[in-house]
Amino acid sequence: MKEKKAFYVNGYLGVIALVILTAIGAYSFYLGMSRFMVGLSVVGILLWMIVILLTSGITIVSPNQAKVILFFGQYIGTIRESGMFMTVPLSQKINLSLKVRNFNSSVLKVNDLDGNPIEISAVVVFKVVDTAKALFDVAYYQDFVEIQSETAIRHIASQYPYDTFNDEDLTLRGNTTAISDELAKELEDRLSVAGVEVIETRLNHLAYATEIASAMLQRQQAKAILSARQTIVEGAVTMTQMALEQIEAGQEITFTDDRKVQLINNLLVSIITDKGTQPIINTGSVKEK
């Protein structure tokens, strides 16, 4: 099914035409009855029947609404303009909203890429762009949007880890905008069959499941400490190397291997330790008399 434009005329002009036909029919009927002319009376009755038939084709369309026109079960088109119109008589007219809608999914429990259970939900903003598909290609497009949205959220959540310390990897927590954009693309493909356009998607809830929240917090803290220690060690090695090079180059001092090892050990300990260092000054040995 594909949406097409229905046949219709301006409703106000149609009402004026119906009033004129009614007046002509009344005059013909009156003239026929007063002069005993059966033919004129029959013409008046036929005009009244035509007026009643055409009146069934009058419809009113509100802003951001559409009227889907069916003629004895056959789809003949859609009226999207707002106002009063006259369309095919004896047709069925189905209202369909074209307004932007929000769907707030329930909180879903899903396993992420690492197998950790997480809780996730999203808001999907959508609207109907093809009335024929929305009505005839799926059963209850609102339910279709809800089910497909939750299915897409589960699929996207299982493709990425909740969190990682590698900045190059996409994560659910660290790259919510990119994840939301990918969710919107997947929903666009899933909902096109229902004539629905996805305007925007946003994750509105993301957390570890209750049963592992405490353990994952400790894991995050451990990874954070390990990452911080790694950065400190790398910086300490670089600083120690620079210090040795500057001392040897500036003071024209050459250290023996033992002295280098001792100096490197002292510098690394003083830089890496998270507590204040206590310097020990060697003043030489004192001989007793």
The single-letter code of the amino acid at 3 is: E
Same domain, 103 and 198: yes
Residues of 231-240 as b/e, b for ≥16 C-beta within 10 angstroms? eeeeebeeeb
Asked if 94 and 135 touch (Cβ cutoff 8 Å), the reply is yes
The answer as to whether 242 is a domain residue is yes
For β-strands 74-79 and 83-87, DSSP reports them as unpaired
CA-to-CA distance for 216 and 141, rounded, in angstroms? 39
Same domain, 135 and 51: no
Same domain, 89 and 169: no
The answer as to whether 288 is a domain residue is no
Same domain, 183 and 254: no
Same domain, 50 and 147: no
Same domain, 35 and 80: yes
**Count of domains observed in the chain:** 3
Same domain, 141 and 204: yes
Same domain, 158 and 195: yes
Check which CATH number belongs to the domain holding 171 and give it: 3.30.479.30
User: Which residues lie below 8 Å from residue 275, measured CB to CB, with a gap of 6+?
Assistant: none
Range of the domain at 195: 98-209
pLDDT of residue 216: 62
- Each of the 289 residues of the chain gets a pLDDT tens digit; together they read 899 999 999 999 999 999 999 998 888 888 777 766 777 788 888 988 999 999 999 999 999 999 999 999 899 999 999 999 999 999 999 999 999 999 999 999 998 888 888 899 999 999 999 999 999 999 899 999 999 999 999 999 999 988 776 666 788 888 888 999 999 999 999 999 999 999 999 999 888 887 765 666 666 666 777 777 777 777 777 777 777 677 666 666 666 666 667 667 766 666 666 555 555 555 555 444 4
Same domain, 109 and 88: no
CA dihedral in degrees (219, 223, 226, 227; nearest 10)? Answer: -170
> Among residues 209, 236, 254, which one ends one of the domains?
209
Asked if 160 and 179 touch (Cβ cutoff 8 Å), the reply is yes
CA-to-CA distance for 1 and 210, rounded, in angstroms? 46
The answer as to whether 281 is a domain residue is no
Same domain, 113 and 28: no
Provide the total of helices (H) and of strands (E) in the chain, helices listed first: 7, 10
CA-to-CA distance for 66 and 41, rounded, in angstroms? 41
The answer as to whether 282 is a domain residue is no
> Among residues 51, 79, 95, which one ends one of the domains?
95
Same domain, 18 and 62: yes
> Among residues 95, 114, 143, which one ends one of the domains?
95
pLDDT of residue 44: 84
The answer as to whether 280 is a domain residue is no
pLDDT of residue 250: 61
Output the CA–CA distances (angstroms, integers) from residue 208 to 104, 172, 203, 241, 248, in the order listed.
19, 11, 14, 43, 53
The two three-digit tokens of residue 199, written as one number: 């305007």
- What's the predicted TM-score (pTM) here? 0.68
CA-to-CA distance for 152 and 106, rounded, in angstroms? 13
Same domain, 158 and 240: no
